[in-house]
Amino acid sequence: MALQSFFEKLTGSQSYKEGNGEEDKKEEEQKPEKQKNNWLHSKNQGQLTIDVYQTPKEIIIKSPVAGSRPEDIDIAIENDMVTISGKREYETKISKEDYLYQEIYWGEFSRSVLLPQEVEASKAEAEFKNGLLTIRIPKIEKEKIQKIKIRVD
């Protein structure tokens, strides 16, 4: 089996050659067990695709996470970084030989996003609708910076 392309690594997809696949099977059988490419059960994480945009008051992150349940998704927000992680559970047992295309990444996924400015993490909201995760994070208002006068004794 050939090395994975950049796209295959990024999306977790796996391409199959046309033909009877006997050459690939022989090649795969000759590899030591630890070198076999079994990404369905690997510890590697897939990377989410995202859209990030801003309005004057908030930063919005959207990511398709179809196949995941809301309780399987974790969102961590720090000062200027958001990390989305979770998993898609593989529900059916289908043999590798029966696949014509296998592009959906199953297993754990994660994505960290560096934000353009600090945000108010405590006021962030997340919504999961029709397989799309939408995170809304209010920006810290620079006008609300409070100056403190120094008292002289």
| 145 domain residue, yes or no | no
Sign of CA dihedral 81, 87, 88, 93: positive
Residue 133: CATH number of its domain: 2.60.40.790
What total of structural domains would you count in the chain? Answer: 1
Among 66, 134, 61, 51, smallest CA distance to 105 is for: 66
152 in any annotated domain: no
Establish if 31 belongs to a structural domain.
yes
- Which residues span the domain enclosing 26? 6-140
Asked, for residue 147, whether it belongs to a domain, the answer is: no
Residue 47 lies in a domain: yes
3-state secondary structure of 57: coil
* 68-118 pLDDT, tens digit each: 999 999 999 987 899 999 998 877 788 888 889 888 888 899 999 999 988
How far are the Cα atoms of 55, 117, 120 from residue 52, in angstroms, in the given order?
A: 11, 13, 16
CA angle 89, 90, 93 (to 5 degrees): 155
Please check whether residue 1 lies inside any domain of the structure: no
Supply the pLDDT for residue 103: 82
Is 146 among the domain residues? no
Query: How do residues 28-84 score in pLDDT, each as one tens digit?
Result: 555 554 444 444 444 677 888 999 999 999 999 999 998 899 999 999 998 789 999
The answer as to whether 65 is a domain residue is: yes
CA distance 3 to 12: 13
